[in-house]
Structure 1
């Protein structure tokens, strides 16, 4: 309520020299009238029959109704007919509200003098035989909230559509790419003339580059959409990085480079984190080091310390990759981690590449809570350093034991493998890869056939495509696990072979009961290594010639 000063009250220092006098006292009716005149909200006093006793001037400003025209008239005559049931309920709630009950708000539509409707938000209280109400025009606010909800829903739908599109593109591109890389890989294992071997090598290199480009574009899209999910599972550090080290060591040796590994004793054992992404970061740095080095060598330094990047007591994994390659000016160090950026245009012309790799590395490292940096000198080499916080789950001396996944198999019979794959070319790729192995391969075209064949028994391992007609690989894997549970049988290893290579697809495969996810395009090395890993931890017990 506005305070009204007495007649003796004066402005001590009027700016215009005019002495302002106020009446000696205002009556309650005058105070209410003054309050009603200055309020921007819609004020109204009505009796218990719903007739208006007094309304504020703001009714005319907001809705075009003169207060004196409203007096004596039913207030609810202005309510939209569709809102009348809810409004009557609100009126009854206010009329019967007991002392101490909360004051509830209500929104309904009131008719403007020109015929359109505005949304009003009400608060009201009963005093004696009168109801005192205050309303605020919330039409614009409600419209804005609705627009925001619709925009959010549209953005979420677009995000889902984008994810679905990326997943489909990944599958559609990787499926034929699997045929190209798999068949060329199988061809490279046959007798070839030097000229033929050179041509096969060129096709292999182009296929690997294309597969890497597809993976990079998918990763960038997921990072931009904020949909790149990380795993937090126990893993063995040696096993996590061994493959990418071995691959890049072979590449370095093929170029006549030295390849050195310096591993601190503490950099062993089991940790919790996303081993796939750690391997991806290290593999990218090593691949770049080999790629940009013509003479000298590449080295990787691995260390785990008690220093922490955060306050939660985690250890720090440090991965440092050094090379004696082309290098780059120190002022370009930060630019190297920007998308589509390389040290200069000649890098792309000389070595190729999109400039996405280091950007993805930085994003992955930052998402994992770490940091990445680079130092370099032109023509002398570069050093890239990654620091990641990791929780150790076992002491250094402890080594995780890989469980046996198969009951002993007679050594005098081949490994019986069930392949579920609907694409003829991909069927042929697997058949060619396993043709010189001690394997009895049974091929079916969909998940339903796979479950039926598995029910017959006798298989040592299942290779399951994820996306197939009639019954997909995830459903078929769940059906196989359910069948084993019913029979109280030892679980048979299942490897998911999938062109769906995103993290969520790997998670889906694991949740369905698969032991391993091998992304297409597959090669003899990736397929045989996966089979070896899930069948037995001793390579001699299976005898796959990788």
Structure 2
């Protein structure tokens, strides 16, 4: 590095000599260039060399060629600041100059040109250069931040430690204008406990959760953030009026859905309870001595009650589908037995109209599968029932075949089902609407043939749950064919247990004494039906009218099984079961409890099991369902 120059003249700039001068020369933070009479660089300090670039030699280069800066002269002309300094003999300052170094780095510089005079003669100049790049970037960041706050559409307000407002952006003023509160003062835009919130925010140094505040017909959400270093609190507002309206609408819809679910569950329970009495009594009457006319009337009554039960089930299934809560069970399904059940149930209606019901099952269709037997039967029964309903002559054909596997790496068996009829058929327009909720072929269909219009939509949803598709092919006046596929799994074959034929052996103990059953139900009709069914099966029966009575009866008497209604006064069936299980804790015995409920949803069944019930039977109660449930529970060993 060249040493500091000396200046013995009396010009504007006197250069120090010696060690002090050299120390100051290198210690100053500005870049210093010494220029000769012709504007060439003769000397520069370390900061200047750092600015120019360590690898570049600046000595002898014209300063104007290096920096290229210009000073504004008189009027609009521009000239080299060195030239202007030399001509005027005065300091020339360039407050801001953008300079790009050879390596592409850009700087913002401030340059001061001082004249150098020796013995009254101009000999050159000194240029002091300050690097403003970082400072100007910080300043621009501050300006950008201020601009962002000012241009932000949402309100922004700053408060000091005393709670006094220091700043409000244009967005805040615009919001107050929209609310018609420009003259009301800014306090109305915030919650009443604003001072306490500001104090808490600043003292804890933690931002506060969003606070919603109603202003007129608008809802403003405020968030508060502490600026600890500045002892300030900044509040950000957001107009969430539309969001709140949407949220309230959503909450109202959810509440409506909950109310609808509760209503449907209540209606299910209330409808199934009297239907349990009707169907139970008609089943019992059919086994008594009746005249032909009485038997015909009883059978008509029974079919009417079953039709009503089908209607209730359709409505409940539709509500499950709407709520996305429809699920499938998995069990072994005997295909031919399932189809036989459907044809048996529909033979009576077909015979009344002189129709035939034929079945065509391909020889390669296996005997058993794993799937949901109830839903498979429901789909087929619905389609066959519809076919019979809309057919006046001819018949209905059920066909089943196995579709080829798409991949050898899957165990899934795809069955192709079809239900063909020779009925009234459908137009193209009617087919397009057929699988929609409440849709029927024409407005008079419900009056002519009955039905809710839900059956085919439910079939469509069930088929899709089984991974299949359903479609219809029809010509008006020439019949229809409903085709659908279901994805099933191969059956799991276990060693079958040998059951006694004839008398229900589960009704008797090893000593030949009939087993004792407690029926807990507050409804007298349900009590009569359950007691008559149980007596018909050979059991001893006692009755409790409340859950509390059931718990007390079990304390006094040893029962082999309990039929527990879920809805009872004083103590319901769930609480009674939990109390029974609590008393069994630590004991070896486990009393089987079968739930009898009018609620048909999966959630209700889960609630029963969580309470400690071993099996769930849905009303209306049938003799076969009761027999099967009793046999299942009484064969299980005590735990």
Query: TM-score, normalising length from structure 1?
Result: 0.71
Q: Are 2:199 and 1:88 aligned?
A: yes
- Of 309, 312, 315, 1:214 maps to 312
Aligned residues between the structures: 484
Q: Do the aligned residues in 1 keep the contact of 2:161 with 2:231 (CA within 8 Å)?
A: yes
Which range is displaced more, 351-360 or 253-262? 253-262
Structure 2 distance, partners of 1:369, 1:263, is 22
For residues 56 and 474 of structure 1, do their structure 2 counterparts lie closer, same or farther at Cα, with a shift above 3 Å needed?
closer
The match for 1:252 is: 347
- Of 521, 524, 528, 1:421 maps to 521
Q: Are 2:456 and 1:358 aligned?
A: yes
Cα drift, residue 104 of structure 1:
5.6
Structure 1 residues without counterparts, runs of 5 or longer: 1-5, 9-22, 65-74, 95-102, 538-546
Structure 2 residues without counterparts, runs of 5 or longer: 1-69, 73-94, 98-107, 109-134, 178-185, 500-504
For residues 429 and 305 of structure 1, do their structure 2 counterparts lie closer, same or farther at Cα, with a shift above 3 Å needed?
farther
Q: Provide the secondary structure at the position in 2 that maps to 1:522.
A: coil
The match for 1:409 is: 509
Structure 2 distance, partners of 1:513, 1:117, is 48
For residues 312 and 119 of structure 1, do their structure 2 counterparts lie closer, same or farther at Cα, with a shift above 3 Å needed?
farther
Cα drift, residue 44 of structure 1:
7.4
The match for 2:298 is: 200
Q: Provide the secondary structure at the position in 1 that maps to 2:263.
A: helix
For residues 361 and 443 of structure 1, do their structure 2 counterparts lie closer, same or farther at Cα, with a shift above 3 Å needed?
same
Q: Do the aligned residues in 2 keep the contact of 1:236 with 1:400 (CA within 8 Å)?
A: no
Structure 2 distance, partners of 1:55, 1:348, is 66
- Of 187, 190, 196, 2:285 maps to 187
Which range is displaced more, 426-435 or 29-38? 29-38
The match for 2:425 is: 328
Structure 2 distance, partners of 1:285, 1:31, is 73
Q: Do the aligned residues in 1 keep the contact of 2:277 with 2:525 (CA within 8 Å)?
A: yes
Cα drift, residue 441 of structure 1:
2.3
Q: Do the aligned residues in 1 keep the contact of 2:156 with 2:168 (CA within 8 Å)?
A: yes
The match for 1:504 is: 603
The match for 1:223 is: 321
The match for 1:372 is: 470
For residues 509 and 368 of structure 1, do their structure 2 counterparts lie closer, same or farther at Cα, with a shift above 3 Å needed?
farther
The match for 2:493 is: 398
The one of the two structures with greater contact order (alpha-carbon pairs below 8 A, sep at least 6) is: 1
Q: Do the aligned residues in 2 keep the contact of 1:417 with 1:441 (CA within 8 Å)?
A: yes
Q: Do the aligned residues in 1 keep the contact of 2:163 with 2:195 (CA within 8 Å)?
A: no
Q: Are 2:271 and 1:176 aligned?
A: no
Cα drift, residue 520 of structure 1:
1.9
Cα drift, residue 34 of structure 1:
9.4
For residues 523 and 360 of structure 1, do their structure 2 counterparts lie closer, same or farther at Cα, with a shift above 3 Å needed?
same
Q: Provide the secondary structure at the position in 1 that maps to 2:290.
A: coil
For residues 432 and 124 of structure 1, do their structure 2 counterparts lie closer, same or farther at Cα, with a shift above 3 Å needed?
closer
Which range is displaced more, 468-477 or 423-432? 468-477
- Of 594, 612, 627, 1:495 maps to 594
Q: Do the aligned residues in 2 keep the contact of 1:83 with 1:108 (CA within 8 Å)?
A: no
For residues 378 and 205 of structure 1, do their structure 2 counterparts lie closer, same or farther at Cα, with a shift above 3 Å needed?
farther
Q: Are 2:341 and 1:238 aligned?
A: no
Cα drift, residue 491 of structure 1:
5.4
Cα drift, residue 172 of structure 1:
1.4
After superposition, residues 95-174 of structure 1 pair within 5 angstroms as 120-121=222-223, 136-138=236-238, 140-141=239-240, 143-174=241-272
Q: Provide the secondary structure at the position in 1 that maps to 2:417.
A: strand
Cα drift, residue 342 of structure 1:
2.9
Structure 2 distance, partners of 1:383, 1:454, is 57
- Of 460, 465, 469, 2:565 maps to 465
For residues 412 and 34 of structure 1, do their structure 2 counterparts lie closer, same or farther at Cα, with a shift above 3 Å needed?
closer
The match for 2:128 is: none
For residues 426 and 280 of structure 1, do their structure 2 counterparts lie closer, same or farther at Cα, with a shift above 3 Å needed?
same
For residues 323 and 346 of structure 1, do their structure 2 counterparts lie closer, same or farther at Cα, with a shift above 3 Å needed?
farther
- Of 342, 361, 381, 1:283 maps to 381
Structure 1 distance, partners of 2:146, 2:264, is 61
Q: Provide the secondary structure at the position in 1 that maps to 2:294.
A: helix
Q: Provide the secondary structure at the position in 1 that maps to 2:440.
A: coil
Query: TM-score, normalising length from structure 2?
Result: 0.62
Q: Provide the secondary structure at the position in 2 that maps to 1:443.
A: strand
For residues 263 and 467 of structure 1, do their structure 2 counterparts lie closer, same or farther at Cα, with a shift above 3 Å needed?
farther
Q: Provide the secondary structure at the position in 2 that maps to 1:383.
A: strand
Cα drift, residue 373 of structure 1:
1.8
The match for 1:449 is: 549
Cα drift, residue 82 of structure 1:
0.9
Q: Provide the secondary structure at the position in 2 that maps to 1:198.
A: helix
Q: Do the aligned residues in 2 keep the contact of 1:45 with 1:54 (CA within 8 Å)?
A: yes
The match for 1:439 is: 539
Which range is displaced more, 357-366 or 400-409? 400-409
Structure 2 distance, partners of 1:111, 1:299, is 65
The match for 1:40 is: 151
Q: Do the aligned residues in 1 keep the contact of 2:470 with 2:482 (CA within 8 Å)?
A: yes
Structure 2 distance, partners of 1:155, 1:296, is 46
The match for 2:412 is: 315
Cα drift, residue 401 of structure 1:
5.6
For residues 340 and 312 of structure 1, do their structure 2 counterparts lie closer, same or farther at Cα, with a shift above 3 Å needed?
farther
Structure 1 distance, partners of 2:142, 2:459, is 68
For residues 92 and 468 of structure 1, do their structure 2 counterparts lie closer, same or farther at Cα, with a shift above 3 Å needed?
closer
For residues 243 and 320 of structure 1, do their structure 2 counterparts lie closer, same or farther at Cα, with a shift above 3 Å needed?
closer
Cα drift, residue 423 of structure 1:
0.9
The match for 2:78 is: none
Structure 2 distance, partners of 1:54, 1:440, is 86
Structure 2 distance, partners of 1:536, 1:263, is 38
